[in-house]
């Protein structure tokens, strides 16, 4: 009998679904549209059908397979209630009781569980990835936004209402840059991929940098990949973007460390592909901003989850965490 878990990653446009084995490998996967008409019941029907089809196909490969449950990563996912609540990027209005609806469709499954995507990534890292055996660590996902998932004593921190772990919205510079959430000066406005672009534009303005390799790109065109490529060619603006982003990440990581004293901080997402360009200044800045007690103890590590499959794999890990109880 080979155990597998279903991982579901709900995004604004697509929902990715995969069957994941106990080592974190995706055996089969599929995509459905995340309905944009806001009809929850029809969406649950679509999702149920897609999951049933995947289970069928995986049982054709190996009839001994046992499905342990479904784990879901979704924006504004409330772990305690099993609901998606007022998610700005999804068409579903108000509070969607997704776990309850799926339990009706899959009464045979022991565990159906939901949280936000960054929390799912943290659990994925703990079950399948680089955080195996760690009891205290924090995951930061750097992308369009900055998400985070916090693990204390081997358990994810959900807080009083199921929504803990929004470190991307801690304040780095009071009254600083406008954040996507409407707040000001948040870490996300500086350390996300769009934050790096904003930094590049600030620096080009500061230095009147017509000679920068980034100077021929519009605000819409420029992305963190282009900044990385320019840095590789020695572009001064691009290199300073990485220095500053690393410095700011390090300040935030030190703040998080002063709260939680983790063994490690894991980074996931596009900008981490830049490797030492981002890890080195982040580590230096974190160490600089730590109390003596915490210095030279905390690792900053790249996530061991495969970039493409990570959201599915992370979500599927929720199932194993749930079955531990």
Binding site for its own copies (CB under 8 A): 76, 85-86, 135-136, 150, 152-153, 155, 157-167, 169-174, 181, 183, 251, 254-256, 258-263, 289, 291-294, 297
If the CB atoms of residues 188 and 235 are measured against its own copies, the closer one turns out to be 188
Between 161 and 221, CB nearer to its own copies? 161
The residue (of 63 and 292) whose beta carbon lies closer to its own copies is 292
In 3D, which of 222, 235, 306, 317 has the Cα closest to residue 272?
306
Supply the minimum distance, in Å, between the C-beta of residue 260 and its own copies.
5
When computed from its CA atoms, the radius of gyration of the chain, rounded to whole angstroms, is 20
> Least Å distance between CB 61 and its own copies?
40
Nearest distance, CB of residue 108 and its own copies, angstroms: 30
Nearer to its own copies among residue 47 and residue 90 (C-beta): 90
- The answer to whether the beta carbons of residues 113 and 72 sit under 8 Å apart is yes
Question: What is the smallest separation between the CB atom of 156 and its own copies, expressed in angstroms?
Answer: 10
CB of 88 to its own copies, least distance (A): 9
Closer of 183 and 209 to its own copies (Cβ): 183
Neighbours of 199 (CB within 10 A): 23
- Comparing CB distances to its own copies, the nearer of 169 and 306 is 169
* Shortest CB 240 distance to its own copies, Å: 16
Structure tokens at 80: 């305690």
């Amino acid at each position: 009998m080979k155990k597998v878990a279903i991982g579901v990653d709900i995004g604004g446009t697509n929902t990715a679904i995969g069957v994941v084995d106990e080592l974190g490998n995706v055996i089969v996967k599929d995509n459905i549209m995340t309905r944009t008409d806001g009809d929850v019941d029809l969406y649950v029907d679509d999702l149920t059908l897609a999951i049933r089809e995947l289970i069928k196909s995986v049982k054709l490969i190996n009839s001994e397979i046992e499905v342990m449950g479904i784990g879901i990563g979704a924006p504004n996912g409330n772990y305690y209630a099993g609901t998606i609540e007022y998610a700005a990027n999804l068409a579903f209005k108000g509070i969607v009781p997704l776990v309850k609806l799926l339990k009706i469709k899959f009464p045979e499954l022991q565990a159906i569980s939901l949280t936000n995507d960054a929390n799912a990534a943290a659990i994925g890292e703990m079950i399948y990835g680089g955080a195996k055996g760690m009891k205290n660590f924090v995951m930061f996902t750097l992308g369009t936004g900055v998400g985070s998932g916090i693990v204390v004593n081997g358990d994810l921190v959900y807080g009083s209402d199921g929504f803990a772990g929004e470190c991307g919205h801690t304040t780095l510079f009071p009254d600083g840059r406008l954040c996507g959430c409407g707040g000001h000066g948040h870490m996300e406005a500086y350390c996300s991929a769009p934050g790096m672009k904003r930094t590049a534009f600030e620096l080009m303005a500061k230095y009147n940098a017509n000679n920068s390799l980034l100077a021929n790109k519009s605000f819409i065109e420029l992305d963190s990949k282009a900044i990385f490529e320019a840095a590789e060619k020695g572009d001064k603006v691009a290199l300073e973007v990485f220095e500053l982003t690393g410095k700011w990440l390090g300040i935030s990581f030190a703040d998080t460390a002063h709260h939680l004293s983790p063994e490690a901080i894991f980074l996931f997402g596009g900008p981490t592909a830049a490797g030492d360009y981002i890890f080195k200044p982040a580590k230096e800045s974190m160490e600089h901003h730590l109390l003596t007690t915490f210095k030279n103890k905390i690792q900053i590590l790249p996530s061991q989850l495969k970039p493409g499959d990570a959201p599915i794999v992370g979500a599927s890990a929720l199932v194993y965490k749930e079955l531990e109880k």
